[in-house]
A = this chain, B = another copy of it.
Amino acid sequence: MVPGGQKLNLSGDRYTVDYLLTVDEKKARPLAEHICYEQTVEFPGDLIPDGEIKNQIVGRLESLERIDKKRSVAKISFAVEITGFEFTQFLNNLFGNISILPGIRIINIDIPESLLSISKGPRFGKQGITNILGVNRPLICSALKPLGMSAEQLAEQAYQFAAGGIDLIKDDHGICNQAFSPFKERVVKCSEAVKKANQKYGTKTLYLPNISGPAKMIRDWASIAKESGVGGLLISPGLIGIDTMKSIAEDDLINLPIMAHPAFNGTYVVSESNGISHGVLYGLLMRLAGADMTVFPNFGGRFSFSRDECLDIASGCRRPLQGIKPTLPAPGGGMTTDRLPEIIDTYGKDFVLLIGGGLHRHSDNIKRNTENFREMVDKI
């Protein structure tokens, strides 16, 4: 028995997590009760004396609802104070140890205002980005690729995209600091190319280099990018840590729009009985971690997301959250021009349309291909 009788000065505010439990009916309640302990005290209940730790720190099973023989939803609430009001610990309380248990998937989180204070949310958000670009239509984004091209070649590609009137150009997320195209050289050259095209053609294209490199370089790379006059940053939080992305997003000296990329963290969503739902991971959590735009694979492309899963992400990006701006969904992957109407029907006007190979397909004239695509979007 550990000592009891602590005074913890808790506010009574709690956040609530909906866990989808994919286990036999009989096992749902024991598992839900287990989560309450595993995600907090990680200690046998019978060795904790009555008191605030047992009654308030241990998670509280608010409800357990049966969906069918194999699935139930447990709503479990937690005292906001267990997060220490830090995003990393919040993630740990949501899913730390239980990420190792099969059959548990986070499908929703309700967060009271007191806990939302741990996030500044997107700095620019939907409105901020569209204000910079001065448009009120879906935004178009393409990627500099393929890996193996030199900084000069990528800069020439960037020039063509910008000349054609694209809104956003990102590095391909696999292009970082390889010898064929070292980070600084590429960022300076691509940034200059985009500025030149913007001046010549009156376009407003933003260039977003990929800064998802070594932990000790990320802040410096963000500064180098900033000094080079880039329009935003591409970050893969699955590679560098979600809170590392958040720290760059919240950095007043960097002060740039952030585009989050799903590299390496798809595993959280791909199994329907484990992990974290599409809407929570790519919508809500990316938004709380400061992503102004969140990249994910569109339905019907070369990945496996369904239309509903994509809508779930859009909902996580847009649902009302006290003081937190909306994030722009950025679906992509196998996008072709003929799918435009269906895609706009799904996302409305407020989203970023990622198009990759599609802009290289019609001809070698990237400027012309971009202009044509931009015209199609302008007509919407």
Contacts and interface: CB of A to CB of B under 8 A. Distances in A.
The count of identical subunits is: 2
A147 interface: yes
Nearest to A358: B44
Contacts of A38: 302
Contact of A263 (B83, B84, B97, B356): B97
Contacts of A271: 102, 270-271, 274
Given A86-B176, A92-B174, A236-B92, A43 B146 contact: yes
Contact of A267 (B176, B215, B268): B268
Interface in A39-62: 39-44, 47-48, 52-53, 57
Given A240-B244, A360-B47, A266 B178 contact: no
A214 B86 CA distance: 7
Given A6-B180, A86-B176, A148-B57, A91 B239 contact: yes
A99 B145 contact: no
B236 A215 contact: no
A96 B149 contact: no
Interface size class of A (residues with CB under 8 A): 35 or more
A305 B52 CA distance: 33
B177 A100 contact: no
A246 interface: yes
A95 interface: yes
B88 A148 contact: no
Contacts of A379: none
A148 to B, nearest CB: 4
Nearest to A79: B148
A361 B87 CA distance: 33
B266 A100 contact: yes
A201 interface: no
Interface of A: 1-3, 6, 8-9, 34, 38-44, 47-48, 52-53, 57, 81-84, 86-89, 91-93, 95-102, 143, 145-150, 153, 157, 172-174, 176-180, 212-216, 236, 238-241, 243-244, 246-247, 262-271, 274-276, 297, 302-305, 356-357, 360-361, 364
Given A99-B265, A239-B91, A244-B244, A213 B86 contact: yes
Which 3 A-B pairs rank lowest in CB-CB distance, beginning with the nearest? A241-B241, A100-B266, A41-B146
Nearest to A244: B215
11 contacts: A2-B145, A2-B157, A34-B302, A43-B360, A89-B212, A96-B173, A99-B267, A100-B262, A101-B266, A239-B241, A240-B244
A116 to B, nearest CB: 16
